[in-house]
A and B are shown apart, each in its own frame.
Chain A
Amino acid sequence: DAGVTQSPTHLIKTRGQHVTLRCSPISGHKSVSWYQQVLGQGPQFIFQYYEKEERGRGNFPDRFSARQFPNYSSELNVNALLLGDSALYLCASSLAWGQETQYFGPGTRLLVL
């Protein structure tokens, strides 16, 4: 079975632009979470969705938003990009919400110039 997939793998944007990142969970998984990893640090939680509803939000500004579709795939949107948004964005999927093993995708590397 395929693991978690993310697209695109790499992205270069300029300040002020908008970006959309996509994630497809493992087949049968109903929960998707998004994490941001800045160079040299551990990943930080951004959002979690389960059954198409937001179940958790981390300490990120309103420029960050996400949604989950009926097929359980998800997209993360970031508006008004700042240089500090440059990071590896990781998507994780799990069977359900909470106390479940989370499996991570390969990530999307975003560079904001």
Chain B
Amino acid sequence: GIQVEQSPPDLILQEGANSTLRCNFSDSVNNLQWFHQNPWGQLINLFYIPSGTKQNGRLSATTVATERYSLLYISSSQTTDSGVYFCAVEGRGSSNTGKLIFGQGTTLQVKP
């Protein structure tokens, strides 16, 4: 099955710093989503981005489908950005339809 690798596994930033999180996937995908999991376990949608670039406030994401990676950029980080960031993909083919495969996540800690 499709493999999803995220890096780095852990990241500690000072408030105001910028960061880039990476997601590599092993095969072509129909769907790629970025999530932020808060301390209570809620998975919050950040982006649906199987290809191209999107921006939402201080966050932006780019997926280069032909090279099988996606990047999540966080600018001017705030303490509320702390948590775990997950990349999840839906592989191609009928057996993969609707099935999100998650990476192991990047744990971000933003210090005041």
Contacts and interface: CB of A to CB of B under 8 A. Distances in A.
Interface string B74-112: 000000000000101010000101111111110000000
Interface residues of B, number: 25
Contacts, number: 69
Give the one of A33, A44, A56 with max B CB within 10 A. A56
B33 A42 contact: no
A72 interface: no
- Chain A to chain B: the 6 pairs with minimum beta-carbon distance, closest first: A42-B102, A98-B97, A104-B43, A101-B48, A48-B98, A99-B30
Interface of A: 31, 33, 35, 37, 41-45, 48, 50, 55-56, 58, 88, 90, 92, 94, 97-104, 106-107, 109
Interface of B: 4, 30-31, 33, 35, 40-43, 45, 48, 50, 86, 88, 90, 95, 97-105
